[in-house]
Amino acid sequence: MRIGVFVCWCGSNIKNTVDVDAVTARAKTMPQVVYAQDVQYLCSEVGQSEIGQAIDTHRLDRVVVAACSPRMHETTFQKLMAAKGLNPYYVEIANIREHCSWVHTDKEKATVKAIDLVKKAVAKTAFAIPLTSDQLPVTKRALVIGGGIAGIQAALDIADAGYPVDLVEKESSIGGKMAQFDKTFPTLDCSACILTPKMVEAATHENIRLYTYAEVAAVSGYVGNFNVTIKQKATSVNPEKCNGCGDCVTKCPKKVPNEFDCGSSKRKAVYTLFPQAVPNKPVIDRDNCIYFATGKCGLCAKVCQTGAIEYQQQDEMIENQYGAIVVATGYELKVPDHLGEYAYGQHPDVITSLELERMLNASGPTSGKVIRPSNGKMPRRIVFIQCVGSRDRHDGNPYCSKVCCLYTAKHTLLLNEKFPGTESYVFYMDVRTAGKNYEEFYERARQQGAMYLRGQVSKVEPLGDADNRVLVRGFDGSLQRQVEIAADLVVLATSMEAQPNAKTLGGMLGISTDLNGFYTEAHAKLRPVETQAQGVYLAGVCHGPKDIPEAVSQASGAAVKAIILFNKGQVKSVPTTAMVEKDRCSGCMQCQPVCPYEAISQEMVVERVHGKERQRAVATVNRALCQGCGACAGLCRSGAMDLGGFTSRQLMAEVDSL
């Protein structure tokens, strides 16, 4: 065996903290090492050709690269190995940057550690076995989870590329949060006017199948071959028969708070989400329906002329195969009643921005009029409070919700335009207008009269006057004084949060959530729409707070990733899969239940014992399903299960070398 060791400087990243000359010199003395060299940048073309030449000249068959994390450049070096006719898994990486130079300051000790890391890698690669990957077929159908603007855009893009898409939405209509908005910044386009054409397009597209009032119940499989169970909730209305006349809604006697209007209006127990709903067929909310509670009523069935009401409908489980999944599950707004100082929920005239948005909307609870919920009169002086529950480590979310600065500017503009004479005060900590034409929009809001006061509000309390106004106590950083404003209405820019079930869905999909519950991308800069699970892509706010243009761009990005996968038509399987040494396997099958990918099954082997043929059960791994997590290898008590690239022999060699 002829091992070559290459030590990278990574410019000054490694060289400043690790004595690369000493590491190289020491590497030359390690067992089976026939060549060692240090290079300024191993990942550069020069560095690559140095390795290539050394392989040729010194007839190397194993290569150890002491450089950055394998997450950065493992594939670079693997490709080089393949080009040289060597197995890609004959290269081993000693991470002397992230694991050494970046985290240490003492050069002497860091050098000792770097030498140890190289020693370990050399010992490991000596026992490396060649690994190959297989080509697996891809199911050319995509699943988009979430029918908000991001999900709709992703579905449309994939469908336009000619691939079938299923769009799953938990509400009875697609549209998401954007359907609740009145206008959109920075152009003040009517939200519905730009959204509904896309909704209709999604509903009528020949390649898109909508599953509304449905949720993803289970996911198994892997990239190119996901098995997904969709739970179609019973709508109690037969969509084939229903003509959308709305008679059932009119006659329904049960009224419940309308979630679409943040509870500020009532809806019936049988309802359509909003006037432009797609599909525009009502559903019966069984938790609130009198018939489902008592078995009486049944008015909707009586008035329905087409006999579309079907109380006996059952939830349905639909199983489908998909090649790629786009997650676009969006967000929820935090109800700010946890911050007592803002009196939300205590004083009726303290509302959230979305409640104001619904009021401004012509199809909202007040038909576009802005009123004080306490007395129905028009407010004259409105105070906006920014960062309510955002950027708040004490009692909220530590992150910035990103869109509040702009939608508050939008609200002040709309109020000034629709109701001249209203005064808008905005208490803020920072105004963040990073986006095309956003600064200009903010400027326009200020010019139209919005008065910005830098400083957070400490208390909102009833003023106790005849009008039942509220007193907002804040501070103006410019005047360096406490200020008090007697306001008619207080609007809280409340925080965007991950969906409450984001973790559960993430668990099903094999993708992780960050500290704040948003899904984690594969790489913060260079792979922002991909996830750690191959074939699962992110779009919209489920990945972190975003505005509409950003969510739409990300959705198109996610769609393209799925399209690339479908165009290729096949995927490479994971080469580092589990392997069973059948002679050692006792057939206890303890590995089967721990496998998260259902890749392990039982097979019978024929053995000759004392001249007799005997059948014996052993475990076997489906290489297409195995993702190389290693759970089985860690558990196997007879040591029969090994993980390619990380065999027990290799790991023991590493430990022994130290």
Partner 1 sequence: MRFPEKTASNSQREDVKHMTGKEVKDCYQCMKCSAGCPMASHMDRLPHEMMQLAKLGLLEEVYASKSLWICASCMACSSRCPRDLEPASVMESFRVTLLRETPNREETCDGDLTVPRQAMIASMRKHRR
- Where does this chain bind partner 1 (CB under 8 A)? 423, 443, 446-447, 449, 451-454, 476-486
Query: Which regions of 250-330 does DSSP assign to beta strands (E)?
Result: 255-257, 266-268, 270-271, 283-284, 316-322, 324-327
Count of beta carbons in the 10 Å neighbourhood of residue 303: 15
Minimum distance of partner 1 from residue 349's CB (angstroms): 17
Count of beta carbons in the 10 Å neighbourhood of residue 367: 9
Minimum distance of partner 1 from residue 483's CB (angstroms): 5
Minimum distance of partner 1 from residue 485's CB (angstroms): 5
Distance CA 440, CA 88 (A): 53
Q: Which residue matches tokens 């959530």?
A: 513
Instruction: To the nearest 10°, report the CA torsion of 347, 348, 350, 353.
Output: 150
Tokens of 502: 């984001």
Count of beta carbons in the 10 Å neighbourhood of residue 286: 16
Tokens of 84: 């040289």
Distance of CA 511 to the CA centre of its chain: 8
Please identify, using beta-carbon distances, which residue of 178 and 485 lies nearer to partner 1: 485
Count of beta carbons in the 10 Å neighbourhood of residue 89: 19
Distance CA 372, CA 376 (A): 5
Minimum distance of partner 1 from residue 311's CB (angstroms): 58
Antiparallel, parallel or unpaired: β 183-184 and 189-190:
antiparallel
Minimum distance of partner 1 from residue 479's CB (angstroms): 5
Minimum distance of partner 1 from residue 551's CB (angstroms): 28
* Dihedrals phi, psi of 160, to nearest 5 degrees: -65, -25
Minimum distance of partner 1 from residue 376's CB (angstroms): 22
Minimum distance of partner 1 from residue 480's CB (angstroms): 7
Q: Are 363 and 274 in contact (CB under 8 A)?
A: yes
Minimum distance of partner 1 from residue 346's CB (angstroms): 22
Cα–Cα nearest to 516, from 352, 401, 428: 401
Count of beta carbons in the 10 Å neighbourhood of residue 184: 22
Please identify, using beta-carbon distances, which residue of 449 and 507 lies nearer to partner 1: 449
Buried-state track 474-484, b at ≥16 Cβ within 10 A, e below 16: bbbeeeeeeee
DSSP code of residue 433: -
DSSP code of residue 447: H
Minimum distance of partner 1 from residue 457's CB (angstroms): 13
Kindly state the greatest CA–CA separation across the chain: 104
Report the sign of the C-alpha dihedral through residues 26, 29, 30, 36, in that order.
positive
Minimum distance of partner 1 from residue 409's CB (angstroms): 12
Please identify, using beta-carbon distances, which residue of 107 and 446 lies nearer to partner 1: 446
Tokens of 578: 């589990």
Report the sign of the C-alpha dihedral through residues 512, 518, 522, 523, in that order.
negative
Minimum distance of partner 1 from residue 420's CB (angstroms): 9
Q: Given phi > 0 = left and psi -120 to 50 = alpha, else beta, which region is 544?
A: left
25, with CB counted inside 10 A (0-12, 13-18, 19+), is middle
Distance CA 115, CA 30 (A): 10
